[in-house]
A and B are shown apart, each in its own frame.
Chain A
């Protein structure tokens, strides 16, 4: 049985390509800087083909909203690593902010396989 499971895992070879982004409903909290709010997010990279994720902040119509991320908008997360980061937004845009998203960034590697870009968006309520 063990060998069958091992064989299936080896054949599939893709069983652990997951992207996990929480919390589902982040809250915007005040910071020590007046006029600036932040949301604390957590990204877990279980995709061994991905090392970088891009953060995005959008309104309800998917228009981009200016923001700053601790450590930069492109986040390097190694395989099976968890990264916690804060997204900073102007307090004046509080009502506009609807989604905070992370999107996988893929490299062109010359293979003929199609690539999966994964994006997970949390909703600010």
Chain B
């Protein structure tokens, strides 16, 4: 008697599980947002003793940052190229910094206008993200030490700041 009840319960549980596991909903929502992604980490090349540069010709790698926006005209990209090292050996002479930011790749052909519409001041580049999609920005950075002086040996690190600001 006990065995029959046990078997019946087991069958019932198995059956009921099978029936209940019919549909599993997946829900989601799309909202306005900006995502900042580091696509390529930059590297300073040191082709000549007095220069650290991200240029390929100098053995460096330009950092690339990607901005993804879901909706057009909601955000502005602001990219700041370095004007100081965050890590370096002791430097007893001036470092002259140059840099630039330009559009590298786009997910929409209309975004190529970002390069002509960008606003540049000091070491900052601002671009209105007026088209939904992804834009890759390439940052160039070069540091020259003293007047043809060789950079002392050691580790060097600088920071690129990528900001996405709601407008």
Contact = CB atoms under 8 A, between A and B. Distances in A.
A115 B31 contact: no
Contacts of B40: 12, 14
B104 interface: no
B91 to A, nearest CB: 16
B153 to A, nearest CB: 12
Interface stretch (A21-29, A77-85, A86-94): A21-29
Nearest to B74: A24
Contact of A113 (B43, B68, B82): B43
B163 A116 contact: no
B39 interface: yes
Interface stretch (A2-10, A31-39, A64-72, A104-112): A104-112
B162 A115 contact: no
B164 A114 contact: no
Nearest to A115: B159
Given A25-B166, A120-B36, A114 B157 contact: yes
Interface residues of A, number: 34
B32 A114 contact: no
Given A14-B39, A14-B40, A19-B36, A114 B141 contact: yes
Given A123-B166, A123-B167, A114 B82 contact: yes
A24 B157 contact: no
Nearest to B40: A14
Interface in B72-102: 74-75, 82, 86-87
Contact of A116 (B31, B54, B162): B162
Interface in B138-167: 141, 155-167
A47 B157 contact: no
B38 A14 contact: yes
Given A25-B166, A116-B63, A119-B162, A17 B157 contact: no
Given A113-B42, A116-B41, A116-B159, A24 B35 contact: no
B157 A119 contact: no
Nearest to A18: B37
Nearest to A114: B42
A28 B167 CA distance: 17
13 contacts: A18-B38, A19-B35, A19-B36, A22-B31, A22-B33, A24-B33, A108-B87, A112-B44, A112-B156, A113-B43, A116-B160, A119-B162, A122-B166
5 cross-chain pairs, A with B, having the tightest CB-CB distances, nearest first: A123-B166, A114-B42, A17-B38, A18-B37, A118-B36
